[in-house]
Amino acid sequence: MIRVLLVDDQPLIRSGFRALLDLEDDIEVVAEAADGEEGLALVREQRPDVALIDIRMPVMDGIEATRRIAADPSLAGVHVVMLTNYGMDEYVFDALRAGAAGFLVKDIVPEDLLHAVRVAARGDALLAPSITRKLIHRYVTQPPPATSAALEELTSREREAVALAARGLSNDQIAGHMVISPLTAKTHINRAMTKLHAHDRAQLVVLAYESGLVTPRHR
């Protein structure tokens, strides 16, 4: 059973998401909160698998709540997915750096929301397509800084796996490309995350672009 916490200051959003999620046999909404401070307290109390957290809220915003969740080793099993009306702004980058596993826009279709919750519960990163496009555009229009020294700690195979993950490939696809087993691909990704201090796959992707390891492709 996937345990979900909803954190949003709009009651209508929370009730709509709860009604949809509670219809699924493998998903349970364990609690709701109207601001980040209350949400953080409930995360510590309930230890959900997935926390759907709005970016902009009173008392404590979603970014600060996410930062505190990511900084607490006892909450390592909680995967935060940010909710936004805006699609993309500076808050998205701040939240990815804070430890968010991904982003969804609030007008997401029901099927995509359910898929997103299941993907996040597995520990995989996810970004709504509109956000992914703008994320790539950000790095197309703004040259990345010099390669981080931290990347030098990666083996050549780990660097290759990270670059493929940044292109959106799954572990199975990375394995096929590198001609290795899916387990080995996962090991390369996990070791890279540890060396780069990336909270999850989403942060790993951001680091790959920011460091210059991956250069966005112009279309």
pLDDT in tens, 12-37: 999 999 999 999 999 999 999 999 99
Per-residue pLDDT at 191 exceeds 60:
yes
The secondary structure element, H or E, covering residue 35 is none
Cα separation of 112 and 108, whole Å? 6
Average pLDDT rounded to a whole number, residues 116-126: 79
* pLDDT range class, residue 218, cuts 50, 70, 90: very low
Q: Which residue has the higher pLDDT, 90 or 66?
A: 66
Neighbours of 12 (CB within 10 A): 8
Q: What is the pLDDT of residue 219?
A: 40
Cα separation of 104 and 185, whole Å? 27
Alpha carbon separation from 75 to 72, 95, 146, 153, 154 (Å, rounded) = 5, 17, 33, 27, 26
Cα separation of 199 and 53, whole Å? 17
Q: What percent of the chain has pLDDT over 90?
A: 40
- Evaluated on CA atoms 159, 164, 167, 170, the torsion sign reads negative
Average pLDDT rounded to a whole number, residues 113-134: 71
Alpha carbon separation from 184 to 83, 121, 153, 167, 171 (Å, rounded) = 33, 21, 18, 18, 9
Neighbours of 136 (CB within 10 A): 18
Cα separation of 59 and 187, whole Å? 40
Which residues are CB-contacts of 111 (< 8 A; sequence separation ≥ 6)?
A: none
Average pLDDT rounded to a whole number, residues 41-70: 93
User: Structure tokens of 4?
Assistant: 């979900």
Per-residue pLDDT at 120 exceeds 80:
yes
Cα separation of 215 and 145, whole Å? 11
